[in-house]
Chain A
Amino acid sequence: MSAILECRKLTKSFGSKTAISEVDLKVERGQIVGLLGPNGSGKSTLIKMVNQLLTPTSGNVFIGDKKPGIETKKIVSYLPEKNYLNDWMRVHEIIELFSDFYDNFQPKKAYDMLKKLNINAHDKLKTMSKGTKEKVQLILVMSREAELYLLDEPIGGVDPAARDYILETILGNYRENATIVISTHLISDIEKLLDYVVFIHQGQIVLTSSVDAIRDEKGKSIDALFREVFKC
């Protein structure tokens, strides 16, 4: 089977500033991948190009051999780093929207998770705290049976309890043939989940490796290696 995600010489500039520079990357199916880099290293830019929210300056993105488009959007489930839900809808209306547009969305899964968090599906998003909105968004994204999950900073800026909940939700909904890409700079929190890591720095990939290889060969945690690679 083809790689679930492939970038070829992918480049993105904003004016004179280059955010992503000639990135070549291949992500195989059936693993949890950490896209790791400091703030401003180009993680979000890369993920947004895969989602067609940003247009590459040059180079290409392939998702299972296809260029981004309707077919890839059906199989990619994306959690942006910001809140993309309008605030006038009720939670159950958004669930209906997701089930309307995504064939692989499992409403039952979403309602079960909401129930566990005691979130009322008839509440409006307007009345919810920022943290609750983030959880609702994660629940929506993880209730899809997608082939590729792109989670942009899912644990940035949340308290440790929420962090545990988020990681548990990601793991609890992970299917072995799916691929999850998690971008973050908080490595120690997620490194136990990862199969594979991609280090990104100033728009360039500086290291790709399986996590066990790093621990075996270097006898280091990913966090320790990260601190070494990105030492200021």
Chain B
Amino acid sequence: MPWELNSDRPIYIQLVEQIALMIFSGVYPLGSKLPSVRDMAKEAAVNPNTMQKALVKLEEDGLIITHRTSGRSITEDAHMLEVAKNRLAQEQISEFLGKMQKLGFDPKEILRVIQNMVKEMKK
């Protein structure tokens, strides 16, 4: 998966988001080991310090576990994953809702637009 990083937001936040996405989408399955900070930083072409910061944040969020001896791995706790996933989803939706409100949609209209689009997609 290619890394896409913009320069106008803190890089580590973007890394957190993208690694979380990789975990949810199964690029890094539950319980699997993560590559070293160095390797991950090199792959993303970022400063190892930044990658380190991102991984610490993911650990605080409970998605990553640090083992004292053998580096880092993805949590095995599926529930924890679910929680994090929901939180991210909620963040996305509230951002979306905010934008829609600015466009002048009220909640009912928003729901209708969504329903219509979902129907379109099913076809």
Contacts and interface: CB of A to CB of B under 8 A. Distances in A.
User: Does chain A touch chain B in the assembled complex, meaning CB atoms less than 8 Å apart?
Assistant: yes
A180 to B, nearest CB: 9
A194 B45 contact: no
A188 interface: yes
Contacts of B11: 192, 211-212, 215
Contacts of B50: 195
26 contacts: A30-B49, A31-B49, A32-B49, A168-B42, A171-B45, A171-B46, A171-B47, A174-B47, A174-B48, A176-B48, A176-B52, A188-B7, A192-B7, A192-B11, A193-B45, A195-B47, A212-B11, A212-B12, A215-B8, A215-B9, A216-B10, A221-B6, A221-B7, A221-B8, A222-B7, A223-B7
A85 B53 CA distance: 39
A168, A211, A224: most-surrounded residue (chain B CB, <10 A)? A211
A188 B6 CA distance: 10
A167 interface: yes
Contacts of B47: 32, 171, 174, 192-195
A120 to B, nearest CB: 26
A97 to B, nearest CB: 29
B6 to A, nearest CB: 8
A191 B41 CA distance: 14
Nearest to B50: A195
Interface string A207-232: 00001100110011111100000000
Contacts of A171: 41-42, 45-48
A187 to B, nearest CB: 9
Nearest to A167: B45
A215 to B, nearest CB: 5
Contacts, number: 55
A15 interface: no
Contacts of A215: 7-11
A195 B8 contact: no
Interface string A170-184: 011010100000000
A222 B6 CA distance: 11
B84 interface: no
Closest 4 CB pairs of A and B: A221-B7, A212-B10, A221-B8, A215-B10
A192 B12 CA distance: 10
Interface in B1-21: 5-12
Contacts of B6: 221
A223 B6 CA distance: 11
A223 B8 CA distance: 9
Contacts of B41: 171
Given A191-B7, A223-B7, A176 B49 contact: yes
A191 B8 CA distance: 10
A167 B45 CA distance: 8
A169 to B, nearest CB: 11
Contacts of B10: 211-212, 215-216
